[in-house]
Structure 1
Amino acid sequence: MLVFACAGCGAVMTARLSRVALPDHSGQKYGHGLLPGLLEPGTYVVDPGNGRPWEPLQPEPEEHGLRQLAYCITGPPDRIGIAPGDVRGTVFVPERLGGCCCGWDGQYGPNLACAECGCPVATRVDDCGFWQVVWLEPDAVRPVAVDGPVQRVIGWAELAGTPPVDQLGFWSPLWEAAVAVALAHLVALSGGTRVTVPDGPVAETFRRAIDSLLPPGPPERRLVLAGPGLPTAIRDIALVPRHPQTGEVWPCDAAAVVPLDAGVWTYLARHDDRRLAPAAHGMPAGVRRDDPPPLLPRGLFEPDGRVFLRTLERLAPVRPPWLDHVYERVQARPREFA
């Protein structure tokens, strides 16, 4: 367990924290409403970035007296993300808080400074459409080990599922981001050959996107769900869970492995919300019932195209022609590529 302190004066900047894996939706921009926190209190993540040099966003020139807004939801490599409520000893930087809607999006750079020495140390993001988080600047803070309870790593059998649909019938943005990340891994390792998915819950979320990105016809490979409690004899591509705390990928002897967010994987592996055909004369005893019935989505599932592109950039900074063609197709219509 540790806290982060100001690199300039040593003042403590955070509550006591334990590290967890970076969520797939950490850089996601979703809708126009207020989103909840990116992280649980008492945890922190490190965002490695995409491996390319990062330059702060430059203001756009004014045109006809109006300033054109541009949004920057990524930052320098190795920045540290924490829950907003875990920040200590900081003050806002007034000149870096403008140009937003319902909060701050960080487009002007670090907007939190150390209350002791005044050095900019972090960027708070809580505007509409952004997952709320505070990003500590990697060069402005330093970790300090402190006494505290050792974080308990949950077992694979304890993983909790993330429901795919909200109360209004919309697909969860967590699913859209998680499937987009897994899809980028799948496409990158496919070699440009067709990948098939057996009928079932996995097909409902992956098949349309796979068929739209990879060519039909032989040779073909097969994507199969694998992990704790499921058969281990997978010959080709295994879709396995990634641990939410450690980031560890479920060990598997398959020819290729595609990691998937543990919450989404658990729901796919342990739930089947497809409707049963109604019985002609009522429901016989012993037949599965749903009361209330499971929430069903309003439309077909579509992964988050921007998350897909960002993941593909990290996995394949130098792309072969076939993969570059896939990248350009999604880039042309990231909201509806599935």
Structure 2
Amino acid sequence: MVVFACTGCGTVITTRVARVALPDHSGQKYGHDLLPSLLEPGTYVVDPGDDRPREPRKPEPEEHGIRLQTYCTTGPPNRIGIAPGDVRGTVFIPERLGGYCCGWDGQYGPNLACAGCTRPVATRVDDCGFWQVVWLEPDSVRPVAMDGPVQQVMDWVELPSTSPIDSRGFWSPVWEAAVAVALAHLLVISGGRRVSVPERPVAEAFRRAIDSLLPPGPPERHLTLAGPGLSATITDIALAPRHPQTGEVWPCDAGTVVPLAADVWTYMAYNDDRRLMPAAYGMPAVVRRDDPPPLLPHTLFRPDGRVFLSTLERLAAVRQPWLRRIYDSLRDRPYIDPFS
């Protein structure tokens, strides 16, 4: 466990937190509603970012020793994300609290300052359409080790599960982001050749995108679910869970592995949302059941196009001509088929 302190004066600005893996939806913007916290209380992540240049929206005067900047959704490299409720010892910077309508989106750079020395140390994001999070500036904070219980790493058989459908009957944005990330890796591994996928939820999530992005014809590569509790023989590509705390991918003997967020993988592997038909001479009609049928989505599943593109941008394979053509065709239209 660690706390983070201001590098300027040493003021502690977080509660005790333990590191977990960066969620696939960390850079996602979704809809116009207020979204929940990106992270569980008591946890933090490190976003490695990338080396693409970031330009300020317009020249700004320097304040408190740093220049105001507008970062892309991934932000500066190695920023540290924590849950908003885990912040301590900070004050808002009023002139940097820009947002769309319901909160702050961080477009003007750090909007939280250390209460001890007024040094800008973090950016709070909580506007509509953004997962709520506080991003600590990597050059303005430092970790301080704390005594306490060691973080317990869950066993593979304890992996969480997230339903693909939310309470309103819409596809989960967590699923849309996780499948988009896995799809980008799957395309790279495919080498541009057709890929077959298992039936039911895997096919529902991946097949339409594969049909749209890869050439038609008989499949030359084969995707198989692999992970804890499954005994299927893997002949080609494994779709395996990525541990939510450590970020490690399930170890298997497959030649190539596509990692998938653990909570999405678990649901794909073990849940069956098919509706059951009444059997003859079954439960009497007068008996009422109190368990509702599974929710059905209003539309076909679509991966998040912007998350898909941002993932491809970070993969060296995007320089290959066939993959670059896919990227260029979607770069300015991330909502066309199969992402719409």
TM-score (norm 1): 0.91
- Structure 2 gaps of 5+ residues are 60-69
Equivalent in the alignment of 2:103 = 103
Write the distance in 1 (CA, Å) between the matches of 2:219 and 2:261.
28
Supply the distance in 2 between the matched residues of 1:282 and 1:330 (Cα, whole angstroms): 54
1:224 alignment partner in structure 2: 224
Q: Secondary structure at the match of 1:134?
A: strand
Residues 208/318 of structure 1: CA separation in 2 closer, same or farther (3 Å cut): closer
Cα 1:308/1:15, change in 2 over 3 Å: same
Q: 1:110-121 to 2 correspondence within 5 Å?
A: 110-121=110-121
Give the superposition deviation at 1:54.
Answer: 4.0
- 1:299 equivalent in alignment to 2:264: no
Other-structure match for 2:240: 240
Structure 1 gaps, min length 5: 61-69
Q: Does 1:155 align with 2:161?
A: no
Letter in 2 for 1:202: V
Query: Residue 320 of structure 2 corresponds to which residue in structure 1?
Result: 320
Q: How many residues align?
A: 324
Q: In the alignment, residue 149 of structure 1 is paired with which amino acid?
A: P
Q: Is the 8 A contact 2:47 2:79 kept in 1?
A: yes
SS in 2 for 1:254: coil
Cα-Cα RMSD: 1.9
Change beyond 3 A, Cα 1:219–1:175: closer
Code of the residue aligned with 1:221 in structure 2: it is R
Partner of 1:57: 56
CA–CA separation in structure 2 for the residues paired with 1:282 and 1:54: 68
Deviation readout 1:71-113 (Å, 9 max, x if unpaired): 8422110000000011111011111013431100000000000
Cα distance in 1, alignment partners of residues 24 and 302 from structure 2: 15
Decide whether the 8 Å contact of 1:71 with 1:105 is kept in 2.
no
**Where do 1:1-40 residues align within 5 Å?**
1-40=1-40
Aligned partner of 1:131 in structure 2 is 131
SS at match of 1:171: coil
Q: Which residue of 1 aligns with 2:275?
A: 275
Contact (CA 8 Å) 2:29, 2:130: kept in 1 or not? yes
Q: By how many angstroms is 1:197 displaced?
A: 1.1
CA distance in 1, matches of 2:317, 2:202: 28
Counterpart CA distance in 2 for 1:264 and 1:290 is 27
The residue identity in structure 2 corresponding to 1:233 is T
Distance in 1 (alpha carbons) for counterparts of 2:227 and 2:207 = 20
Q: What SS does the corresponding residue of 2:314 show, helix, strand or coil?
A: helix
Distance of aligned partners of 1:265 and 1:311 in 2 relative to their CA distance in 1, 3 Å threshold = same
Give the letter for the 1:37 counterpart.
Answer: S
Give the match's secondary structure for 1:187. helix
Deviation string, structure 1 residues 212-249 (Cα, Å, up to 9, x no partner): 11112256101111100001520100000000000010
Amino acid at match of 1:80: I
The equivalent of 2:311 in structure 1 is: 311
Letter in 2 for 1:129: G
Equivalent residue letter for 1:40 = E
Distance in 2 (alpha carbons) for counterparts of 1:184 and 1:25? 14
Whether the 8 Å contact between 1:213 and 1:326 is mirrored in structure 2 is: yes
Distance in 2 of aligned mates of 1:275 and 1:307: 31
SS of 1:22 mapped into structure 2 = coil
| Structure 2 match to 1:208 | 208
Q: TM-score, normalised by structure 2?
A: 0.91
Aligned to 1:257: 257
Instruction: Report the CA distance shift for 1:265/1:30 in structure 2 as closer, same or farther (over 3 A).
Output: same
Residue in 2 that maps onto 1:48: 48
SS of aligned partner of 1:223: strand
Secondary structure class of the residue paired with 2:164: coil
Q: Determine the structure 1 residue equivalent to 2:142.
A: 142
1:39-70 Cα deviation digits (max 9, x unpaired):
00000000001x3144253149xxxxxxxxx9
